[in-house]
Amino acid sequence: MIDVLSAASSNFLSPTILAFVLGALAGFFRSDLEVPEAITKGLSIYLMLAIGMKGGASLATSGVGLDVLPGLVAAIVLSFFIPLVAYGLLKFATRLSTVDAAAVSAHYGSVSIVTFVTATQFLTDIDVPYEAHVIAMVALMETPAIITGLMLARRGVASRAKGSLFTPDMVREIFFNGSIVLLLGGFAIGWATGPDGMKSVSPFFIDPFQGVLCLFLLDMGLVAAHRLRAAQSLTLGVVAFGLYMPLIGAVFGAAAGLLVGLSVGGTILLTVLCASASYIAVPAAMRLALPKADPGIYIPLSLGVTFPFNVLIGIPLYAACIDAIVN
């Protein structure tokens, strides 16, 4: 049984979360602290490859059967579906244009891999296991939301002006972006080489993982604060959406996780995925496909509002609620 208060305090007092808070404070107080962008990119490559390999090696140990299919299908369906809910709420509760609402909704149907990685670290810290194939669900949930978002955006365009939904560089961006390649590639490497392969790289990919996550979250704190300070297009209604939409997404994720028979750990991770919003793959795709959508709305919202909410409050909250339901 996960106690919500002890889970929240152990989450808040973990080095990774405190590093995020440090970065955010440094950003708000305009410190000259800066993590060079090349290092941030390097750290993100490390984290995604490491989490992919760990998942693949774990699947090699546990074996794979048809029982993983419902979870994978649920992930795809959720990613298609959540933007519809987000779009409806945005059109109802805010004054965002059709194209801005569609772009924002795509972000909330897709996933934040860093939030996911933080959640896996949280589960490791409190000794809650989870299914290996959840890693594959992360990769599957990146793209469908982009398709839904683009289709929603086309509602506001005259039929004559509707061009092709996907240009070649769009297809490259959404199906072969770096995070999908690293997650699925790492997963395949981990699966092919199994526990022995993982053992051979564990001094690099397992032991320093939490330290690297600390450094990465330090930078995420800086960037989140920077984006929030620079955000001038965010209205109160839009900021509120960034706080209640994760909770709505979490309900869908938890329900789906329990419905398809995931473990408590797996359900918590699917819930975190549904509650999170993308700020790496989807913004790039939206700039290419919807240049009229304002990145000053969707990036500060997902990175400056929803990401901190999920990392600081959401993850332990979802974990405690799911644990309470199951037990």
Partner 1 sequence: MFQKKKIEVVVEAVYLNRVIDAAVKAGAKGYSVIPHLTGNGQHGVRQGRGLSGAFENAMFISIVDKAIADDVVKNIHAAIGEAIGILYMSDVDVIRSEHF
Please tell me whether residue 171 binds partner 1 under the rule CB under 8 A: no
Please tell me whether residue 230 binds partner 1 under the rule CB under 8 A: yes
Contacts with partner 1: how many residues (CB under 8 A)?
A: 27
Q: Report the nearest approach of partner 1 to the CB of residue 184 (Å).
A: 18
Pairwise CA distance, residues 95 & 261, whole Å:
39
Question: In this complex, which beta carbon is closest to partner 1, that of residue 115 or of residue 271?
Answer: 115
* Angle 288-293-296 from CA coordinates, rounded to 5°: 105
Please tell me whether residue 281 binds partner 1 under the rule CB under 8 A: yes
Please tell me whether residue 226 binds partner 1 under the rule CB under 8 A: yes
Question: In this complex, which beta carbon is closest to partner 1, that of residue 248 or of residue 284?
Answer: 284
**How many residues are recorded in the chain?**
327
Pairwise CA distance, residues 257 & 251, whole Å:
10
Q: Report the nearest approach of partner 1 to the CB of residue 285 (Å).
A: 8
Question: In this complex, which beta carbon is closest to partner 1, that of residue 211 or of residue 291?
Answer: 291
Q: Which of 57, 145, 225, 280 binds partner 1 (CB under 8 A)?
A: 280
3-class secondary structure, 262: coil
Q: Report the nearest approach of partner 1 to the CB of residue 115 (Å).
A: 14
Pairwise CA distance, residues 50 & 204, whole Å:
9
Distances, alpha carbon 301 to alpha carbons 25, 185, 246, 292, in Å:
18, 30, 12, 17
Judged by CB under 8 A, the stretch of 5-13, 75-83, 133-141, 219-227 that binds partner 1 is 219-227
Q: Which of these, 101, 125, 92, lies nearest to 9 by C-alpha position?
A: 125
Q: Report the nearest approach of partner 1 to the CB of residue 304 (Å).
A: 10
Question: In this complex, which beta carbon is closest to partner 1, that of residue 37 or of residue 67?
Answer: 37
Q: Which of 7, 223, 238, 272 binds partner 1 (CB under 8 A)?
A: 223
Distances, alpha carbon 66 to alpha carbons 56, 171, 175, 253, in Å:
16, 29, 24, 21
CB atoms under 10 Å from CB of 272, counted, come to 31
**Residue 41 exposed, middle or buried by CB count within 10 Å (0-12, 13-18, 19+):** exposed
3-class secondary structure, 261: coil
**Residue 12 exposed, middle or buried by CB count within 10 Å (0-12, 13-18, 19+):** middle
Please tell me whether residue 313 binds partner 1 under the rule CB under 8 A: no
CB atoms under 10 Å from CB of 293, counted, come to 24
Please tell me whether residue 295 binds partner 1 under the rule CB under 8 A: yes
Q: Report the nearest approach of partner 1 to the CB of residue 83 (Å).
A: 18
Pairwise CA distance, residues 47 & 28, whole Å:
26
Question: In this complex, which beta carbon is closest to partner 1, that of residue 281 or of residue 321?
Answer: 281
Q: What does the per-residue mask of binding to partner 1 show for 32-51, with x meaning CB under 8 A?
A: -----x--xx--x-------
Binding-site ranges for partner 1 (CB under 8 A): 37, 40-41, 44, 169, 173, 222-223, 226-227, 230, 232, 279-284, 286-288, 291-292, 295-296, 299, 303
